[in-house]
């Protein structure tokens, strides 16, 4: 069996390291899968995105999705909240320049009540049902969970810089909800 020349192995390592350091997809994570390959997977740890994503689900995230574009309203994204170094998952509800408020857990964007058939209807104690109107600044997004009563999101920590986006959720490959 023919062995690979040592310089070929070294060159491959140098190329991978260079791509990692350049971070061509502009992702906000240090994970080499995201920086080199442009995709990664996550395990859903909480109920913040129920019923869309359930605790225990595995999702595929495209870290290259927003390399040259801005997320659309309704996109489900993985991001790092301000002041935290832990990835969160949420739905983009407003983009730069949009006015957003939340009344009784329903988002109102630019004066229009949003049809959100995907949210988990509030039951029992809901710590944040309302959020006063705010204008999303340039280069930022307002991101919330589908389970409004059980989600830490922009209603708590404010808007999220586009630089803190890790990627777009593109596929649920293993769900704890087998329906």
The number of angstroms, rounded, from the C-alpha of 172 to the middle of its chain's C-alpha atoms is 14
pLDDT digits (tens, 9 = 90+) for 37-58: 677 888 999 999 999 999 999 9
Task: Point out which residues pair with 90 in neighbouring strands.
Answer: 77
Residue 149 burial (CB count, 10 A): 19
pLDDT digits (tens, 9 = 90+) for 144-160: 999 988 889 999 999 99
In this predicted structure, which of 65-74, 80-89, 92-101, 126-135 has the lowest mean pLDDT?
126-135
In a domain, 20, yes or no: no
In a domain, 4, yes or no: no
In a domain, 8, yes or no: no
Q: Which residues are catalytic?
A: 48
Structure tokens at 117: 């058939």
In a domain, 14, yes or no: no
In a domain, 119, yes or no: yes
Q: Is the pLDDT of residue 66 over 70?
A: yes
- Total domains in the chain come to 1
37 vs 94: which has the higher pLDDT = 94
Structure tokens at 100: 């957003």
14 torsion bin: left (phi>0), alpha (psi -120 to 50), beta (else): alpha
Note down the domain range covering 106. 29-174
In a domain, 81, yes or no: yes
Q: Which CATH number is 48's domain given?
A: 2.10.109.10
59 vs 30: which has the higher pLDDT = 59
The pTM for the full model equals: 0.81
DSSP string, 85-125: -S-EEEEEEE-TT-EEEEETTEEEETTEE---TTSPPP-S-
């Amino acid at each position: 069996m023919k062995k690979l020349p040592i310089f070929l192995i070294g060159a491959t390592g140098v190329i991978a390291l260079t791509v990692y350091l350049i971070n061509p997809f502009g992702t906000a994570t240090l994970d080499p899968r995201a920086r080199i390959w442009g995709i990664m997977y996550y395990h859903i740890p909480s109920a913040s995105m129920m019923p869309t994503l359930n605790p225990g689900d595995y999702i595929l995230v495209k870290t290259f999705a927003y390399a040259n574009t801005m997320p659309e309203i309704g996109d489900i994204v993985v991001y790092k909240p301000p002041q935290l170094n832990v990835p969160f998952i949420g739905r983009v509800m407003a983009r730069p320049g949009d006015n957003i408020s939340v009344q009784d857990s329903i988002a109102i964007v630019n004066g229009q009540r949003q049809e959100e058939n995907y949210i988990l209807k509030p039951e029992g104690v809901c710590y944040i049902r309302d959020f006063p109107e705010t204008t999303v600044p340039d280069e930022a997004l307002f991101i919330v969970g589908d389970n409004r009563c059980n989600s830490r999101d922009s209603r708590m920590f404010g808007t999220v810089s586009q630089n803190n986006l890790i990627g777009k959720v593109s596929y649920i490959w293993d769900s704890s909800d087998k329906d």
